[in-house]
Amino acid sequence: MCCQWTFFYYFCVLFRNNCFMTINEACIKVLTELGGKAPLKLICLKVQEIVVFKGATPYNSICTELITHPKNFRRSEGQKGWWELTSYQEEVYELKKQVVELSETNRQLVAIPKEAEFIDKFLKEVMNVYKYERKKADPIRIIMRTLGHEEAAEVLDAWIDEKEDELKKALDKLSKLTIAPINVQGDYVVDKHVGNEVNGVASGATGINVSKEKE
């Protein structure tokens, strides 16, 4: 008996909601359920499932409702026979705006140099600036080691002390961490082609070939 009364209660609620729901409310409900926009024929079919029309022209009644309430409904731009909630385009605009903002943020993040790339370029500049006075770069290698960049410090160790074999090994070791090879210029000649030798000194692991140029 209890189950019968419960079923009757929910039937009455459903009947009341459908019977007393206006065409406007039904159109909003249908469009919301369809994702904000839909073809007119589908809107009419769905609305007729909700609202009981007394007249013989429910299609015309629904069209009139859509046309006379621009605050709630409007024709979909570029889609003939489609209607949408007026708020739909506003939501789409906000979503597009967020996508653009996220894209710009992503572009800025991508543009930020990676740490390994920065170290690579930094060592290049140090070697070029102090190419004739290497000992003056000693404080820099101390700073690099203090900051935990041991591989970069080892490159400067070998470069400052002019130890060719150790420099080659240090560059090879650093290449496993960096994105681009160090392009040492000035009193060091660099060949970027992997496997080629310059004056008999090659760094095959990095593709950087380094040898001391005669002054």
pLDDT tens digits for range 50-94: 988 877 789 999 999 999 999 899 998 888 999 999 888 787 778
Chain region(s) in the chain for CATH 1.10.10.10: 2-86
Least Cα distance to 175 among 131, 132, 117, 122 occurs for 117
User: In the chain, which residues have pLDDT < 50?
Assistant: 9-11, 13-14, 16-17, 179-215
Cα dihedral 129, 134, 138, 144, rounded to 10, equals 50
State the pLDDT at residue 112: 67
Least Cα distance to 126 among 103, 106, 152 occurs for 152
State the pLDDT at residue 96: 84
**Which CATH code fits 2-86?**
1.10.10.10
Tokens of 194: 């992997």
Tokens of 210: 């380094």
State the pLDDT at residue 55: 75
State the pLDDT at residue 83: 94
State the pLDDT at residue 204: 38
Ramachandran assignment for 200, one of left (phi > 0), alpha (psi -120 to 50 degrees), beta (any other): left
State the pLDDT at residue 160: 92
